[in-house]
Amino acid sequence: MKKTKIEWTEETWNPSTGCSKVSSGCKFCYAEVMAKRLNAMGVKGYENGFGFTLMPDRLTQPFNRRKPTKFFVNSMSDLFHEDMPDDFLDQIFDVIRKTPRHIYQILTKRENRMSAYFNNKLIPQNVWLGVTVEDRKSGLPRINVLRELNASIKFLSIEPLLEDLGNINLYGIDWVIVGGESGPKARPMDEKWVRKIKDQCEIYDVPFFFKQWGTWGADMVKRNKKKNGRKFQGRIWEEYPYQIQTLSVESNV
């Protein structure tokens, strides 16, 4: 487990690492860059670089965190990667069920695998399921699959936002995160694209979280992402889902 600078969560938990590219949003993957850096530094767990790798020794980590925490699961991978064995997924969700004091935020670009896995399984109440929506071709179809799942919170990570998404059906969606791409090869994000999403969140009464501009600012000038900041329409947007489930803070698990 590790504290993180990702604005919409508190800590990360990576029971697997590594991934492979499936859509345009993966082109300049931050996790790939980080994994290669950790590999070069000789950090344990990254001997395979960004190759998909199971980390069974990390399975029990959430038990050691007594304070109720929001965990982003697999920030360095995709929990529903095609090489992830079902029995290892079972072990991960067993840990999740046994630690109801925590919230587990799971984000995937492999919505069909996620749907298939939960076909005959109950989704734990402390799990938030999300999909990446970077463009129309790959991203928008993921929403329809997510919408059919019976998760307590269903969210969209519209990051990196690569184009105007047009009209989005947000029925059944509980939270929307929007952000631009970062890194030296980042693709720009137009303010009009963000505004259209924000307006639709208001129509559907969906909480809106603006994560960052990234490498390209609202003025379409390329600079350090910290200088571009996180303000949209003159303010910070950090809305969270309304239906925050009650965590069992008295659990002795």
Last residue of a domain, one of 81, 99, 129: 129
Residue 84: inside a domain: yes
Report the share of the chain in percent with pLDDT over 90.
82
Q: Judging by beta carbons within 10 Å of its beta carbon (0-12, 13-18, 19+), is residue 88 exposed, middle or buried?
A: middle
Q: Give the residue numbers spanning the domain of 100.
A: 8-19+29-129
Residue 24: inside a domain: no
Report residue 192 as tokens. 């009009």
Whether a cis peptide bond, with omega within 30° of 0, leads into 207 is: no
pLDDT at position 125: 96
Q: What is the mean pLDDT of residues 92-110?
A: 98
Is 140 in the same domain as 156? yes
Residue 61: inside a domain: yes
Is 143 in the same domain as 124? no
Q: What is the mean pLDDT of residues 37-42?
A: 88
pLDDT at position 46: 85
66-78: pLDDT as tens digits:
999 999 999 999 9
Q: Is the pLDDT of residue 229 over 90?
A: yes
Q: What is the mean pLDDT of residues 172-193?
A: 96
pTM of the full structure: 0.92
Residue 1: inside a domain: no
Q: What is the mean pLDDT of residues 179-207?
A: 96
Other C-beta atoms closer than 10 Å to the C-beta of 86 total 10
Q: Is the pLDDT of residue 250 over 70?
A: no
Is 101 in the same domain as 145? no
Last residue of a domain, one of 129, 159, 180: 129
DSSP state letters, 5-70: --TT-SEEE-SEEB----SGGGTT-HHHHHHHHHHHHT-TT-TTTTS-EE-GGGTTGGGG--S--E
Number of domains comprising the chain: 2
Q: Judging by beta carbons within 10 Å of its beta carbon (0-12, 13-18, 19+), is residue 245 exposed, middle or buried?
A: middle
Is 114 in the same domain as 167? no
Residue 251: inside a domain: no
Residue 52: inside a domain: yes
Is 191 in the same domain as 166? yes
Last residue of a domain, one of 129, 155, 185: 129
Q: What is the mean pLDDT of residues 159-177?
A: 97
